[in-house]
Structure 1
Amino acid sequence: MQDRCQALPEDPAGSRADFASGEARAAYEPSPDEIRRASDLLKVVGDLTRMRILCALLRGELSVSDLQQSLDMSQSAVSHQLRSLRDANLVKYRREWKTVYYSLADDHVLDLITLVVEHIRHD
């Protein structure tokens, strides 16, 4: 089974800052702590299984069982990867009786996935 992330259309108003000038770029230069945290986050996203989970969640909220079936993985393997994504604040969850539902944590996660997919499609 092959999962594919679908890039979302660009915001017509333009959501990215204009980085034409060096001054604009310098304003966004991260601190050493932000660089470390960004690196840690990209390590989490860089795992193939976790990226597949994030891409599946682009469709909306899914239960662990839904993810298990969609990804053709065991429940324990899915839960293990979801724990890493939760720890990185990339997904959120809610419990309904015995069923746990997951979704992307916020629009920043959606933007991150979209930007990565747009970048690889650009080549």
Structure 2
Amino acid sequence: MHTSLPDFDMPNEEQVHLAAESFRLLADPTRIKVLWALLQGESSVACLAELAGAAPTAVSQHLAKLRLAGLVKGRREGTFVYYSAANEHVGRLLKQALFHADHIDAEPRAAAR
């Protein structure tokens, strides 16, 4: 049925897996705060911890996971590592998620509880 629609296209399995993994890693308030801060510019773990209201060790663990997923990148300068968002796609993804959060109707969410 759907395949008869013009321009119908499904993502391949690898795309679906990688997208789901990105969403899974973004499903944490601290990670969202850290990524938002990184969209403002490069930052250290200590600064990100302060901005996110979390312990530096926790932020460091979050950054390691985000780095492995390709959502952030690090730049070493001596003994310090400065992090930044991996690319502009990360910014668009996060901005869209926050935009969506601003436009969710509160009544259906309350009824679902």
TM-score normalised to structure 1 length: 0.74
Give aligned pairs, total: 100
Flag structure 2 segments of 5+ consecutive residues without an equivalent: 105-113
Secondary structure at the residue paired with 2:65?
A: helix
Q: What is the 5 A alignment of 1:1-123?
A: 23-24=6-7, 26-27=8-9, 29-123=10-104
Shift of 1:100: 1.0
CA offsets 1:64-108 (integer angstroms, 9 cap, x no match): 111122123222111100000000000011011111111100011
**1:23–1:49: structure 2 CA closer, same or farther, 3 Å change rule?**
farther
Greater shift after overlay, 98-107 or 34-43?
34-43
Structure number with the bigger relative contact order (C-alpha 8 A, sep ≥ 6) is 1
Q: Which runs of 4+ in 1 moved over 4 A?
A: none
Superposition RMSD in Å: 1.5
More helix by share: 2
TM-score, normalised via structure 2 length: 0.79
Cα distance in 1 between the residues matched to 2:25 and 2:41: 20
Using the aligned pairs only, state the percent identity. 37
The 1-side partners of 2:6 and 2:63 are apart by: 39
Q: What residue identity is the alignment partner of 2:35?
A: L
Q: Deviation digits for residues 38-76 of structure 1, max 9, x if unmatched?
A: 111110011221111111112111111111221232221
